Structure 1
Amino acid sequence: MTTPPLPPTGDWIRGITIRQPWATCILAGKSTENRPANWPWRGWVLIHAGKAKPEPALLRDPLVATAIRGRELHRGAVIGVARLTDCHPDQGPERCTSPWAQRDAHHLVLDDVRELPLPVPATGALSAWRPTPDLVALVLQQLPDLRP
């Protein structure tokens, strides 16, 4: 049995660049990514670790330090994929119980997070971006069961 062909790259997957250490925290279980505005996109996203060096103070935060312990903080590469299932404005700690949720932000809810065995070097943008077919192909080599 053959696998059905994937739809055009831009129709089922996007990229999201996330600064370190937050990108690695997502791989370790951080399910809420904070953004200043609503994101209408829903579906699979490539988790792209930005190139900026993380601030040392962030690495000492107990929540972050626990999440990244023993992990390498790759930069300038796709390090995983996740399914973006929701985006909602901050509704207070009684409605959004994630310890990662920031006040006065929009919370991107990420499910089905999958870490790539090997980071794939790439350039991204802080807003949702369309990955090239070549980049998607490199990711799918490592996650062949990933489908829209």
Structure 2
Amino acid sequence: MSAATLPEGDWIRGISIRQPWTTAILTGAKTIENRPRPWRAGWVLLHAGLQIDRPALRLPLVARTIRGRDLVTGAVVGVARITDCHQDPAGSPPCTEWAHPGTWHLELADVQALDLPIPARGQLGPWRPTEDLVAQVLQQLPDLRP
């Protein structure tokens, strides 16, 4: 299937995440993303937002994970597949050390980093990427399919 015959519509969405969290996902260490609302399963473009969560840089877990890596902002830096979305039951331990209590946890798999970040604007909540942006991602990840 070529890029021209990919299904149109909702097969891929964008998710904007502040750094250093985006980079932690790209390393493969952070396998969940915390969100205030549930998301549906499927492919997402990983967009590094313009802002950096500076206090997070001082957390030992984060510092170890991102050590020596560039914190690109304002660009799509990879893709991932959301495989599930859940909340931890009240009083139970977090599902991973990256989980924040009281949030929805998007379980991420098949994470692939782009060799060349693609400058793009993101937004809060799930967003629909332009066809041009998806085409640029597929130039770097030609085997990516819904």
Counterpart amino acid of 1:112?
D
Identity of aligned residues (%): 60
| Corresponding residue number in structure 1 for 2:44 | 45
Residue of structure 2 equivalent to 1:33 = 33
* Shift in Å, 1:54: 2.9
C-alpha contact (below 8 Å) 2:43/2:82 kept by paired residues:
yes
- From 68, 71, 96, the counterpart of 1:70: 68
Does 2:132 align with 1:134? yes
Match of 2:18 in 1: 19
CA contact (8 A) 1:90 1:102 kept: no
In the aligned structure 2, how far is the partner of 1:13 from the partner of 1:67?
A: 27
Change (3 A) 1:103 1:126: same
RMSD: 1.7
Compute the displacement of 1:93 (Å).
Answer: 7.9
- Seen in structure 2, the aligned counterparts of structure 1 residues 28 and 51 have a Cα distance that, compared at 3 Å, is same
Equivalent position to 2:104, from 86, 106, 109 = 106
Number of matched pairs: 144
Matched residue of 2:134: which SS? helix
Q: What is the distance in 1 between the residues matched to 2:86 and 2:119?
A: 30
How far apart in 2 are the matches of 1:65 and 1:126? 25
Extract structure 1 runs of 4+ deviating beyond 6 A.
none
Consecutive unaligned residues in structure 1, runs of 5 or more? none
Q: Distance in 1 between matches of 2:43 and 2:61?
A: 26
- CA deviations on 1:80-102 (whole Å, 9 max, x unpaired) are 00001111122268564311001
Which amino acid counterpart does residue 27 of structure 1 have in structure 2?
Answer: L
Superposition deviation, residue 37 in structure 1: 1.3
- 8 A Cα contact 2:47 2:76, kept in partner: yes
